[in-house]
Amino acid sequence: MYKYILESAGNINWMAIFALLTFVAIFLISLLVVIRRGKEYSRKMANMPLEDGGSSLKTVLTLLLIPSSTIFAFAAAPEGEAARDPNYLAHLMEYIVLGIGVVIMIVGIVVIADLVAAMVGAQRRELLAEQGIEEQEVTPVEAEPAWWHKFYKRATNVVPLDQEETILFDHEYDGIRELDNSLPPWWVAMFYITIGFAVVYMGYYHVWGYGLSSGEEYAYEVEQAEKAIKAALARQPDMVDETNVTVVTDDLDLGVGKSIYELNCSVCHGKAGEGLVGPNFADEYWLHGGDIKDLFRVIKYGVPEKGMISWKAQLRPPEIQKVASYILTFQGTNPPNAKAPQGDLYAPGQMTPEESASDSVEVDDRVSGVVN
């Protein structure tokens, strides 16, 4: 804890703090001098016209504010590297001292303002006495209600307690009587605002069609989310899967795929993709689809019922992508001792048997729903 404080103290802007403390000291000393010499200032102000008292006060306050604002700006201004990498404790110390200085300055200005006003009043009475003019007592005028009282009265339309007898209903139940209070104006105003809003809303969304409906907003948000997901996946190679995988054609990537294939796949499919225990990769017939996404899915999840294991625990997604892309390079190579074709003839864009079966089930469900 102490080590942190000592390290932080090294970054404090001590010059600015020293300047601020110097200003506060000078300000307090000046304030004491002004108070102690009040009589002298009062005699000097006797020669000043009475109407200049307000302008003199403004002048004094202005002269006090100009140097104080300059000092505060200098104290608060960060310097050099510390401004780009500020330290919490250093700034905290500066702000505390700055806050104390501001409070002292405000208190001093208020004291000086009261002192000047008192001296002006005393001088005014003295001048009136010298001229033989008696100061008339001013009859206090009833103050006008503040604006917030007026606003509250208009917004609530509340009847004063001493006037509730004027709005009492004639009926009475078990000693309980009812007041005929009107609705508060703020409530009535909100009611009319909601009516206007409803008209504008209906016109904007359902009459002129400028706004998107809930379904359209949902579809738009889904579309934007899918774009964001694709962009994020593009920046993260390990996030590739069977839904977004693409064929890689770079020689370096295909070289990595070839190494993986020869190490793990050639035992069952042949070094040239001619097929051994597993199917032939060189022809156009495929058991589970010949698209890059189909190959990625089969390698990732395997086909346990036919002896094809899942490789997702041994291979990372980018490695599966590269070996699947390398397998597609066997197409049309016609290697020696090629195994007989297996599966269905596949053309790019054609659905796999699994996808066809799933699609037919969906169609049957829709037809069943129509019939029912």
Cα dihedral across residues 334, 335, 340, 346: positive or negative:
negative
What element of type H or E holds 173?
strand 168-173
Q: What is the rounded average pLDDT of the residues 262-288?
A: 91
- Which of 123, 114, 100 has its CA nearest to residue 35? 114
Predicted TM-score (pTM) above 0.75: no
Q: What distance in Å separates the CA atoms of residue 316 and residue 171, rounded to the nearest whole number?
A: 84
Residue 43 has pLDDT above 90, yes or no: no
Q: What distance in Å separates the CA atoms of residue 127 and residue 120, rounded to the nearest whole number?
A: 11
Output 329-336 pairs: Cβ under 8 A, ≥24 positions apart.
329/254, 330/272, 330/273, 330/281, 330/282, 331/281, 331/282, 331/284, 332/282, 333/272, 333/273, 333/282, 334/282, 335/270, 335/272, 335/273, 335/274, 335/282, 336/272, 336/274
Q: How many helices (H) and strands (E) does the chain have?
A: 14, 4
Query: How does DSSP classify residue 340?
Result: P
- Which of 100, 75, 104 has its CA nearest to residue 13? 75
Length of the chain: 372
Confidence grade of residue 183 (pLDDT, cut at 50, 70, 90):
confident
Q: What is the rounded average pLDDT of the residues 24-32?
A: 68
Instruction: List 168's β-bridge partners, or say none.
Output: 179
What element of type H or E holds 120?
helix 88-130
| 3 state DSSP class of 291 | coil
- Which of 117, 82, 111 has its CA nearest to residue 11? 82
Residue 8 has pLDDT above 70, yes or no: no
Q: What distance in Å separates the CA atoms of residue 33 and residue 12, rounded to the nearest whole number?
A: 33
Q: For residue 270, what are its two tokens?
A: 């042949």
What are the boundaries of each domain within the chain? Answer: 2-130, 251-358
Find the helix packing angle between 317-328 and 251-260, rounded to 10°: 100
* pLDDT over 70, % of the chain: 67
Q: What is the pLDDT of residue 16?
A: 61
- Output the average pLDDT for the chain: 74
125-167 pLDDT, tens digit per residue, is 777 777 777 666 656 667 777 887 787 777 777 777 788 888 8
* pLDDT over 90, % of the chain: 24
Residue 177, phi then psi, degrees to nearest 5: -115, 155
Residue 200 has pLDDT above 90, yes or no: yes
Confidence grade of residue 60 (pLDDT, cut at 50, 70, 90):
very low
Confidence grade of residue 52 (pLDDT, cut at 50, 70, 90):
very low
Fold of 251-358: Cytochrome Bc1 Complex; Chain D, domain 2 (1.10.760)
Which residue has tokens 């000092």? 71
322-372 pLDDT, tens digit per residue, is 999 999 999 988 898 888 988 888 877 655 555 555 554 444 454 344 344
What element of type H or E holds 194?
helix 185-202
70-107 pLDDT, tens digit per residue, is 444 444 444 444 444 445 555 666 677 777 777 777 87
111-124 pLDDT, tens digit per residue, is 777 777 777 777 77
Q: What is the rounded average pLDDT of the residues 316-321?
A: 92
3-state SS track over 3-42: HHHHHHHCCCCHHHHHHHHHHHHHHHHHHHHHHHCHHHHH
